[in-house]
């Protein structure tokens, strides 16, 4: 619900449990409050208009004092606000000062579309949208700051549209998507890491100055995830305040928190300004990607579930979102590059006997590729390995009542490829400068329409020929020497944004051409795990690290923002091919059950006892996968020895608890694990015994003793009516 008081200039944006207050003061829009629902009275004092930061007296018309203290909802550069700006634009005369003053607003019952970009959408849910119009008459710039509220959620979607209403082009130097102004002591939570160690949680105090994360490598990156949270020092999983931003974007991003001299913290997110500049011609508009704003006063658990529900209901469009996903085996860790059609069919026969649904052929099926130094871009069948052709192989797989999936790396080109020999200029490169080699490959200049058309046609031909049900879209290197001959010199910093728009365009075109196709996005594992990619695919490969103990931590960190149902999680062989650790076979399955579930190993090498375990694991998946897809997720425990989480069905009558023992200790006391989200007065049955919901939440459930490292327990509880 949106309420506007024209007399006081107050806009109150009410979600289910929160309110964001925006207020116009002296022609500028401030954000004096965002948090738990309150009853409004006077709010002027929150806007700090009485602050005297530079002089002992408040002088009439002291704009610098005003701007440096005012909690701008969309801060701009050059008029006295010396904190980080959200907006900065260079005009015809070379100046880059803008003064965005409020000139009006609009309200809509629907959500406006954002051209070319992934975005939240409505589905069986009423929405309200508030658009604030901020104008700089001299620059001829109009900023439309857009807030959309969803009836079924506490998430607010924010984006900005910039219009050039002037006579001359404007160079957009910095156009962030969102800004929050917060009071009081805060800590910052970010998700950081590297390849095979993505999205580990880091929590640190917000001190004076600017703390930032971001990416400038062309993707949202392994190093930092496009998500940021600010929390009170006392905030835990179950109590305390938390604010968040999640970016619906997969390219270069920037997020920062700045604590100023008034102990006020400003948090912002948007496209990274270091690698961005956009020439906005007269009469044209630029749309920023969307940021999902979140607030919880009931801890990080509720905060995460806000995001989970919203992403499932309003970001992921795929029909597979609430369907049981096919259980697949991926050929990579089974064969790597060493396979042929005979090996693939043997693997398919074994997969069928185990109860799997799909065979995915990973890297090596195309061109003349026998290692990672050739053939990217040559998306036609490797006849040395599959001489009968991909259509024949697809028919063979279908005769076995299996589905067929393929791996692609569409954004890349190998120097040793037919495509590069024919079009060496298609690789991203700067004239007269050598191209940096990475992973024996270059990046295709997808900003050029002829290259996008080639990639789409090549992929579509194979998908159609072999009746492909699933593709794994990979991206295994970063972008260097960013340049395109399709743009003039002064517009080269448009490259990175145009590049990710091109990726979106190709994926959108594939989905429209093949509406039943499932895309699993991947970027060297979890290097592009974000809400932008989830708009096109219901799942993303969480990490190339499939070790169960590491994966438990990676998936737990990822769950701070993203629902487990979108985490690509598979069972792999041991010792693990990345870190060499051995973990129990069933532990690997229990971790994969908290994601999409599948296999990354050579089933043909499995002993009969292991085949029987696989059949049992798949039965568990079919029995419990509805909880992963539709249930509420709770992080219960994480320390040096144990990790535990819980899924609860929407009506809270089914509870699935997973406990991973990372490291055993001698003579440990029996663990009583406190559960969450149960019906306090209901009776739950576990292991033939009856417990009340309140008992399980306040005292805990007795966890079976486990022997060894890397072992686990799966606890399933059901509620019954009992007086």
Catalytically active residues are 474, 544
Which stretches does DSSP call E strand in 125-248? 127-136, 141-150, 156-164, 170-183, 187-194, 197-205, 209-214, 227-231, 242-248
Two tokens at 299? 């801890």
For residues 339 and 498, give the distance between their C-alpha atoms in angstroms, rounded to a whole number: 37
For residues 230 and 190, give the distance between their C-alpha atoms in angstroms, rounded to a whole number: 9
Two tokens at 696? 């399980």
Two tokens at 111? 């959500």
Q: Are strands 264-271 and 253-259 parallel, antiparallel or unpaired?
A: antiparallel
Do residues 556 and 643 make contact, with C-beta atoms less than 8 angstroms apart?
A: yes
Q: How far apart are the first and last CA of the chain?
A: 41
For residues 121 and 110, give the distance between their C-alpha atoms in angstroms, rounded to a whole number: 10
Q: How far is CA 574 from the centre of its chain?
A: 29
Distances (CA, A) of 698 to 241, 379, 634, 650, 715: 22, 57, 15, 21, 18
**Helix residue ranges per DSSP H, 288-407:** 299-314, 332-335, 341-354, 390-399
Residues 6+ apart with CB under 8 A from 150: 15, 120, 122, 125, 126, 127, 157, 310, 314
Closest by alpha carbon to 232, among 282, 172, 186? 186
Do residues 153 and 309 make contact, with C-beta atoms less than 8 angstroms apart?
A: yes
Task: Kindly tell me the burial class for residue 235, based on how many C-beta atoms sit within 10 Å of its own C-beta (0-12, 13-18, 19 or more).
Answer: buried
Closest by alpha carbon to 689, among 675, 671, 673, 701? 701
| DSSP characters over 351-384 | HHHHT--EEEE-TTSBTT-SSTTS-TT--SB-TT
């Amino acid at each position: 619900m949106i309420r506007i008081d024209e007399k006081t200039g107050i806009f109150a944006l009410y979600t289910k449990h929160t309110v964001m207050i925006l207020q116009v003061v002296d022609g500028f829009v401030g954000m004096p409050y965002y948090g738990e629902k309150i009853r409004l009275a006077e709010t002027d004092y929150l806007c700090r208009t009485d602050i005297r930061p530079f002089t002992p007296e408040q002088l009439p018309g002291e704009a610098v004092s005003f701007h440096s203290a005012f909690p701008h909802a969309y801060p701009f550069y050059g008029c006295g606000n010396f904190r980080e700006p959200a907006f900065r634009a260079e005009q015809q005369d070379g100046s880059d000062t803008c003064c965005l003053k409020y000139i009006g607003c609009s309200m809509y019952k629907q959500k406006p579309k954002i051209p070319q970009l992934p975005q939240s959408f409505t589905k069986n849910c009423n929405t309200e949208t508030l658009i604030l119009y901020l104008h700089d008459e001299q620059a001829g710039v109009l900023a439309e700051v857009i807030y959309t509220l969803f009836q079924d959620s506490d998430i607010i979607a924010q984006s900005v549209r910039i219009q050039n209403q002037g006579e001359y082009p404007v160079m957009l130097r910095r156009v962030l998507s969102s800004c929050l102004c917060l009071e009081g002591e805060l800590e910052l939570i970010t998700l950081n890491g590297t390849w095979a160690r993505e999205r580990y949680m880091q929590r640190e105090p917000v001190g004076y100055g600017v703390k930032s994360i971001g990416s400038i490598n062309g993707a949202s990156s392994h190093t930092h995830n496009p998500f940021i949270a600010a929390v009170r020092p006392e905030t835990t999983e179950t109590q305390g305040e938390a604010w968040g931003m999640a970016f619906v974007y997969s390219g270069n991003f920037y997020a920062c928190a700045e604590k100023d001299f008034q102990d006020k913290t400003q948090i912002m997110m948007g496209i990274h300004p270091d690698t961005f500049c956009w020439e906005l011609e007269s009469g044209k508009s630029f749309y920023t990607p969307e940021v999902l704003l979140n607030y919880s006063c009931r801890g990080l658990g509720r905060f995460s579930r806000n995001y989970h529900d919203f992403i499932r209901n309003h970001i992921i469009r795929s029909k597979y979102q609430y369907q049981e996903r096919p259980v697949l085996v991926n050929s990579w860790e089974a064969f790597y590059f060493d396979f042929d059609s005979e090996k693939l069919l043997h693997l398919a026969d074994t997969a069928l006997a185990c109860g799997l649904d799909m065979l995915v052929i990973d890297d090596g099926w195309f061109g003349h590729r026998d290692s990672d130094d050739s053939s990217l871009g040559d998306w036609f069948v490797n006849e040395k390995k599959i001489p009968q052709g991909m259509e024949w192989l697809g028919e063979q797989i279908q005769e076995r009542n299996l589905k067929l999936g393929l791996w692609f790396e569409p954004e890349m080109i190998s120097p040793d490829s037919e495509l590069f020999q024919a079009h060496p200029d298609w690789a991203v490169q700067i004239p007269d400068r050598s191209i940096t080699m990475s992973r024996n490959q270059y990046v295709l200049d997808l900003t050029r329409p002829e290259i996008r058309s080639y990639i789409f046609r090549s992929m579509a031909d194979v998908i159609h020929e072999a009746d492909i049900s699933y593709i794994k879209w990979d991206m295994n290197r970063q972008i260097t020497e960013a340049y395109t001959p399709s743009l003039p010199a002064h517009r080269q910093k448009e490259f990175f944004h145009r590049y990710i728009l091109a990726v979106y365009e190709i994926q959108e075109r594939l989905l429209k051409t093949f509406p039943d196709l499932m895309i699993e996005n991947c970027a060297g594992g979890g290097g592009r795990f974000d809400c932008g990619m989830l708009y096109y695919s219901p799942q993303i490969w969480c990490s190339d690290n499939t070790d169960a103990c590491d994966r438990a931590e990676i998936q737990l960190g990822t769950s701070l923002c993203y629902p487990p149902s979108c985490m690509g999680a598979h069972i792999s062989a041991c010792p693990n091919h990345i870190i060499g650790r051995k973990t129990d076979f069933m532990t690997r399955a229990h971790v994969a059950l908290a994601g999409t579930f599948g296999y990354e190993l050579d089933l043909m090498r499995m002993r009969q006892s292991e085949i029987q375990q696989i059949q049992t694991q798949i039965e568990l998946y079919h029995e419990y996968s509805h909880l992963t897809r539709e249930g509420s997720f709770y992080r219960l425990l994480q320390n040096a020895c144990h990790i535990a989480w819980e899924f609860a069905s929407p009506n809270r009558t089914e509870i699935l608890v997973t406990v991973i023992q990372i490291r055993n200790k001698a003579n440990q006391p029996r663990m009583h694990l406190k559960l969450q989200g149960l019906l306090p007065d209901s009776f739950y049955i576990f292991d033939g015994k009856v417990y009340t919901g309140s008992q399980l939440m306040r005292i805990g459930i007795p966890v079976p003793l486990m022997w060894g490292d890397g072992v686990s327990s799966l606890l399933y509880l059901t509620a019954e009516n009992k007086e």
